Structure 1
């Protein structure tokens, strides 16, 4: 007979996980700027409530993605789970959201392919039939330093994209990304690609391109939201943005320009027109290189 356990549902990026209540001492909320500064520093612990805690960010442990700098600009505090730990060390796990109050889950053992994953103890079937992983917080935190090194090496790959004349292409269409990237590479540009707005914001934590080509209609976060976040971020707000979209109506164009987009083009774009706009915004000489 499957075991039953009381758990808390949390969100990390766009995924949800269950945490057994027996592992949780309590949940506190902390200013995002304080957390961001701590993650950027070399400090071993973060002090709050008159105690020092070793804090880790769940999404960074699981996927290598650090706390989004743009979250710091919001007024919303972030949830930090204080973990029950018999070793005497104060440890805590930051998540993006407490997504569900106390729930009762039916614990099912993991299949053999997941049995070697440290920090994942079991799984549960949700009401809609989806599978939610159940975390083992002690094992997860013990494994965090190793995973952090892996994440750092992944981040260095993004940083290698940073150079003169890097153009970021943000579009949910694989075809548009490929066609646009090949065209730009033929003109001598380095290209960074993002499959949607959320992906773009994550890449912008590691890479500052010289210019962004931005679609409007995308899942998870549309182009307007991306442009707003960029224009309200001191580190990114200088980047020129050309919005390229099938939404060619005056209403959308006006909204884009109000946000601070530098130029606006309809799809499908003319290559020479796009290149002229890019080179104008980057202060380069206008020339079109044709493939031989």
Structure 2
């Protein structure tokens, strides 16, 4: 055991301690004093940029169920936030906390055999209130801040991975379904197949589809009824729906338009290029 002079602070409703020898100064920072520089937060102090972060983020307290149960502290001052400037070697950085408390001498107890090394923590002490208080490790906190900054900066240049447009193909005929699926996949689409209208309606709600291609004459639920059922949902009002069918009369085409289909293609005049052109235009 060792005697340490520490600064007590509160974050997420929990009291923590920092060894005083690493604390350069404490101050209050307003939001307009914080600058964003290459995905990092900094403050200007005596003409120098000082890296800052929320201590709760470095300790990942927001991800802890134990802390979420007891973190009910509301900052008293919403305009200025307490900040502790810490110096480790030649490096100076700032940590935002919820509340600054007093300094006092404490007896630091080392980690148990089960917890010989815990990141960001040097040891623990028991306060006069009987509360167990973690004594933080400034060197570890600096490393955590640097790692957090590096991960943010390195993540920025990565290109967004483009996913294939997702098509729901509803067709009860196995040969036609196989032909259309191969055509769409060859054109660069990801295809989910449904055996009839009812199957298609259920599968529509499992993924975020970019378009629906459906036959009209099918068991359980035909294509016209499927289209009408889809359009009843506000979130599917703009979802492209293409009907591919043998029904070629003007009345059939009009019915397709009435229920909300965006395109109506006749199977007897089926042209692969036409389907792909219409699909590409609608998506």
Query: Rg: which structure is higher?
Result: 2
Judging by fraction of residues, say which structure has more strand: 2
